[in-house]
Amino acid sequence: MARILLVEDNELNRDMLSRRLRRRGYDLAVAVDGAEAIAIASAQPFDLILMDMSLPVIDGWEATRRLKAQPHTQQVPIIALTAHAMRGDRDQALAAGCDEYDTKPIDLKRLLGKIKSFLSAEQLEKTSDTSTASAVSSKTTAPVIPITPVAPITEPAASVTPIAPVTPINAEVEVPSTAVNPMTSEVVSAAVTPAAETTENEFSGLPILVVDDNEDNRDMLSRRLTRRGYQAVVVESGEAALDYIQNNQDVALVLLDIMMPGIDGIETLSRIRQTYSRNQLPVLMVTAKAQSDDMVRAFELGANDYITKPIDFAVTLARVGTQLAIVKATKQPSQQPESSRLQSSQIANDVQSIKAVESPQPATQPGTANISLVPKTAFSRFAAQRYQVQYFLRQEPLGPISIALDRQTDSLVLLQTLRAYSQDTAELLKRVMEKETEKFEPLRSQFPGYTYGQVDNTFYIVHGLGENFDQDHLLQAKLQTSWPLESVLLLMDRLLEQVGLFHRHKQVHAGLRDDSFIQTTGRETLTPSMVLVDSGLGKRVMIGVSQQSAEYRKQLLMQRDYQPLEQRIGRPGMSSDIYALGLIGLQALTGQSIDQLTLPTVSGDLSWRQFASVPDSIEDWFDQMIQQNQSKRFEHAMEARKALTPHLQSYLADLAEPG
């Protein structure tokens, strides 16, 4: 089957052309701007690219030039698509490196002829064989692939009895097509498609509120969400959204347009946050790319994430799924409405009941307020007999990472879950896990008791946290306010020292975050007691699998926070770790969240100077840490630490001077 990358920023054009090409048997991926096209084409092999020329971020001409300059993409044929029918446009497209040119509005028969001229006879034959099957399958629900138990790779830290697979409950939920808001008498539509035409997912039946004054946007989002098994409820104003949320407490997530008449999205978000926290009701802002100032304000008010117009539904779906997974991982069963309890047994096998305990508990350090305590019995059956979860660190796309008590040794361990999508990806995960574990051998002494195991299609990574581990001193909990500059420089020296353990062995960590380290002393008197407690192995396994699995490539590409572009497309280097450490340092320096620090700008650079004022030389050092172009960053931790030393010594000397 021929693989085509369609690069088009117009939602209607993209939807029309992608549907028609898929019906003809082509395997299609989409990008909405030139930068995303470069990233996707660099991460995956394609047989042909359809490139719109008038694109945001990086236009089609420049994207073509960059792709043709890369050895691994320069041979991929590119057909230019443009509404510019002026004389010379064809020559301009061909000069940029395009192999062919076609004008809009698209004549599909003509375009198909040009596509076929670039594909081999073998590719065309495979595409023809699959076109009929694709047309049929696009109208039906994808079959559920049964997962057969797989023998454990290695013995986990304790003897584990494999659990029998549990059949998921796919209960149908009847939802009325319309409802009347009792406060305003306004008809609110709940877009639902027949069960036979929708795809079940682990959050089926959860109501998602779409708030947009544009009817086309509402219709498009609601139809696509319901096809994926969600219950989409649409309203056309901020006022209607607030009324609906007030009278329907089971809303799972809000997709909120910023630009609306009356109460706009920013004000609507502000009012929602007066009642619901980020964890209780996630809100994704829908914004035009030019509304960066609005997004700064939205994040300050408590937005969880955002999507940009024109809407790429694949991106939207990934971000919706991520937020729902986080919310479900942080709710106690007693706090979940019966109508929105998860129907998936796999979720039940992961973290079922994780939420900050608000009832009276033993006193904790103020700095640990954002580290969620969990009920001692809440974890999968794999861990139930030996491991007792103490803290939930975070929800990764493939499963949670938690700190647990190993009852057998009475010590704390890091416990990470990696869930395969299918039997095929379970086998792939197994091979990559074995390979990465072998490479990890020189560093295993830093992570005592490292082991991994497999139960059915789920993998578990376990390693000890050392005798000095104290969950009250996770670095993540101490980055809520800005630090003195000298403390930040000391922090960076210690972080670089820890990551240097990997880089001296020419290994990339790839999983560095603010919760990867513990600090055993106060920030004003920071000593060398900074310890790296996450091996990063789970992230490296996911990156390895993404090279052979489109499902994992998509998950990896959708992740942001501490990951630079080259890591998101599956090509991390030691400088990728430098980027992540730079962001952790900027969190300490500015007191800003990672979402705030990584808001996109027109230039593509990270805009952090508005939050902190430091000497130019230190500004330059941080800028070299977080360069978008990895070739301009420090190559490894040792180089970055060497460049930091003069600044650090200067501050230490100043502090040592009397008076």
pLDDT of residue 498: 92
Q: Does 349 have pLDDT greater than 90?
A: no
Non-local (6+) Cβ contacts of 499 within 8 A are 509, 512, 532, 577, 581, 637
Do residues 616 and 308 lie in contact, with contact meaning Cβ atoms separated by under 8 Å?
no
Predicted pLDDT of residue 19: 85
* One domain for residues 355 and 323: no
Is the pLDDT at 148 greater than 50? The verdict is no
Q: Looking at the structure, tell me whether residues 40 and 18 fall in a common domain.
A: yes
Question: In this structure, are 553 and 423 located in the same domain?
Answer: yes
Q: So what's the pLDDT on residue 222?
A: 85
Mean pLDDT of 391-396: 76
> From residue 256, how far is each of 213, 218, 237, 239, 305 by CA, in Å?
10, 11, 9, 12, 11
429 has a pLDDT exceeding 50: yes
Clarify whether residues 493 and 355 are in a common domain.
yes
Question: pLDDT-based confidence at 383, cuts 50/70/90?
Answer: low
**Residue-level pLDDT at 622:** 95
CA distances from 600 to 43, 345, 575 (A): 21, 38, 20
- DSSP lists the bridge partners of residue 48 as 4
Higher per-residue confidence, 90 vs 562: 562
| DSSP helix/strand/coil, 253 | strand
pLDDT at 166 over 60: no
Peptide bond into 105 cis (omega under 30): yes
Same domain assignment for residues 288 and 371? no
- Clarify whether residues 333 and 355 are in a common domain: no
Residues 603, 605: Cα–Cα separation, whole Å: 5
**Six-digit token string for 556:** 């990896």
Write down which residue in 340, 363, 381 finishes a domain.
340
The yes-or-no verdict on residue 480 having pLDDT over 80 is no
Residue 644 has pLDDT above 70, yes or no: yes
Specify burial of residue 482 (Cβ count, 10 A radius: 0-12, 13-18, 19+). Answer: middle
* pLDDT of the residue at 47: 93
- For residue 150, tell me if it sits in a domain: no
* Residue where a domain stops, chosen among 340, 373, 403: 340
Checking if the pLDDT of 8 tops 60, the result is yes
Residue 362 has pLDDT above 50, yes or no: no
Q: Is the dihedral of CA 373, 374, 376, 379 positive or negative?
A: negative
Find the range with the poorest average confidence among 244-253, 314-323, 370-379, 583-592: 370-379
* 3-state class (DSSP) for residue 600: coil
**pLDDT in the model for residue 162:** 29
What's 244's domain CATH number? Answer: 3.40.50.2300
In a shared domain, residues 116 and 255: no
Torsions phi, psi for 3 (to 5 deg): -105, 125
Evaluate if residue 161 carries a pLDDT over 70: no
| Of 452 and 586, the one with more pLDDT | 586
Same domain, 650 and 542: yes
404, 474, 564, 641 from 515: Cα distances, Å: 15, 6, 18, 21
Q: Which of 28-32, 83-87, 159-163, 619-623 has the highest mean pLDDT?
A: 619-623
Structural domain of 507: 346-656
Residue 369 gets which letter from DSSP? T
CATH no. for residue 586? Answer: 1.10.510.10
* 398 and 487 together in one domain: yes
Most confidently predicted of 264-278, 374-388, 634-648 = 634-648
pLDDT tens profile 523-579: 444 444 678 888 999 999 999 998 888 778 877 877 778 998 889 888 899 999 999
The neighbour count for residue 570, using CB atoms within 10 Å, is 20
Average pLDDT over residues 346-362: 31
409-423 confidence digits (pLDDT tens): 888 888 888 888 777
In the numeric block, which tokens belong to residue 46?
Answer: 């394609």
Q: Is residue 600 part of a domain?
A: yes
604 part of a folded domain: yes
Quick one: which of 112, 123, 113 has its CA closest to 46? 123
- Average pLDDT over every residue of 432-454: 86
Backbone torsions φ then ψ of 620, nearest 5 degrees: -60, -40
* pLDDT value, residue 656: 53
Decide if 147 is inside a domain: no
Residue 415, phi then psi, degrees to nearest 5: -125, 115
Please tell me which of 327-331, 456-460, 576-580 the model is most confident about, judged by mean pLDDT: 576-580
Peptide bond connecting 207 to the previous residue in cis, omega within 30 degrees of 0: no
* Identity of the highest mean pLDDT range in 96-105, 430-439, 499-508: 499-508
Question: Is pLDDT above 70 for 479?
Answer: yes
Report pLDDT for 149: 30
Q: Strand locations in 33-117, DSSP E?
A: 48-52, 78-82, 100-103
Question: What strands, in cross-sheet order, belong to the sheet with 283-288?
Answer: 178-180, 187-191, 231-235, 207-211, 253-257, 283-288, 305-309
The C-alpha atoms of residue 425 and residue 546 are separated, in whole angstroms, by: 10
Q: Does the pLDDT value for residue 255 go beyond 80? A: yes
**426 CB-near residues (< 8 Å, 6+ apart):** 147, 150, 420, 454, 457
User: 194-252, pLDDT tens digit by residue?
Assistant: 333 455 566 666 789 999 988 878 888 888 888 888 888 999 999 999 988 888 878 88
Q: Is residue 500 part of a domain?
A: yes
- For residue 46, count other CB atoms closer than 10 A to its CB: 19
**pLDDT band at residue 84 under the 50/70/90 scheme:** low
Q: Indicate the pairing of strand 48-52 with strand 78-82.
A: parallel
- Tell me: do 297 and 353 sit in the same domain: no
Q: What is the pLDDT of residue 199?
A: 58
Cα–Cα distance, 641 to 499 (Å, whole number) = 10
Give tens-digit pLDDT for 598-607: 876 555 567 7
Asked whether residue 415 falls in the same domain as residue 334, the answer is no
Q: How far apart are CA 190 and CA 394, in angstroms?
A: 32
Check residue 206 and give its pLDDT.
Answer: 73
Report the range out of 43-57, 595-609, 627-641 with the highest average pLDDT: 627-641
Calculate the alpha carbon distances from 547 to 40, 302, 543 in Å: 12, 35, 7
Whether 51 has a pLDDT exceeding 90, the answer reads: yes
What is the count of structural domains for the chain?
Answer: 3
Tell me the one-letter amino acid at 600: P
Inside any domain, residue 187? yes
Share of the chain above pLDDT 70, in %: 72
Q: Which residues are CB-neighbours of 358 under 8 A, at least 6 positions away?
A: none
Split at pLDDT 50, 70, 90, the class of 331 is low
Amino acid at 488: V
pLDDT of residue 524: 44
Last residue of a domain, one of 280, 307, 340: 340
Question: What per-residue confidence (pLDDT) applies to 552?
Answer: 81
Closest CA to 252 of 305, 325, 318: 325
C-beta of residue 201 within 8 angstroms of C-beta of residue 228: yes
The residue-averaged pLDDT of 297-324 equals: 80
* Highest-pLDDT range among 355-359, 502-506, 550-554: 502-506
Burial of residue 45, with CB atoms counted within 10 A of its CB: 0-12 exposed, 13-18 middle, 19 or more buried: exposed
Q: Which two tokens stand for residue 576?
A: 């990728």
What the block records as the tokens of 580 is 């992540």
For residue 264, pLDDT beyond 70: yes
Question: Mean pLDDT throughout 110-132?
Answer: 75
Helix and strand numbers (H, E) in the chain are 21, 20
Residue 153 lies in a domain: no
Indicate the residue type of 53: M
Q: What is the chain's mean pLDDT, rounded?
A: 74
* DSSP for residue 105: S
536 plus 624 within the same structural domain: yes
Q: Quick one: the chain helix, strand, coil %, rounded to 5?
A: 40, 15, 40
Give the Cα separation of 498 and 640 in Å (integer): 13
Could you tell me the end-to-end alpha-carbon distance of the chain, in angstroms, rounded to an integer? 75
Tokens matching residue 62: 């420049």
pLDDT the model gives residue 417: 84
pLDDT at 38 over 80: yes
Position 55 scores a pLDDT of 85
Contact 329, 350 (CB under 8 A): yes
Alpha-carbon gap, residue 503 to 562, rounded angstroms: 18
Q: Give the mean pLDDT of 16-23.
A: 87
Q: What is the pLDDT of residue 137?
A: 41
Give the angle 409-412-416 at the CA atoms, nearest 5°: 115
Does position 153 have pLDDT exceeding 50, yes or no?
no
Residue 128 binned pLDDT confidence (cut-offs 50, 70, 90): low
- Least confident stretch, 75-84, 146-155, 209-218, 266-275: 146-155
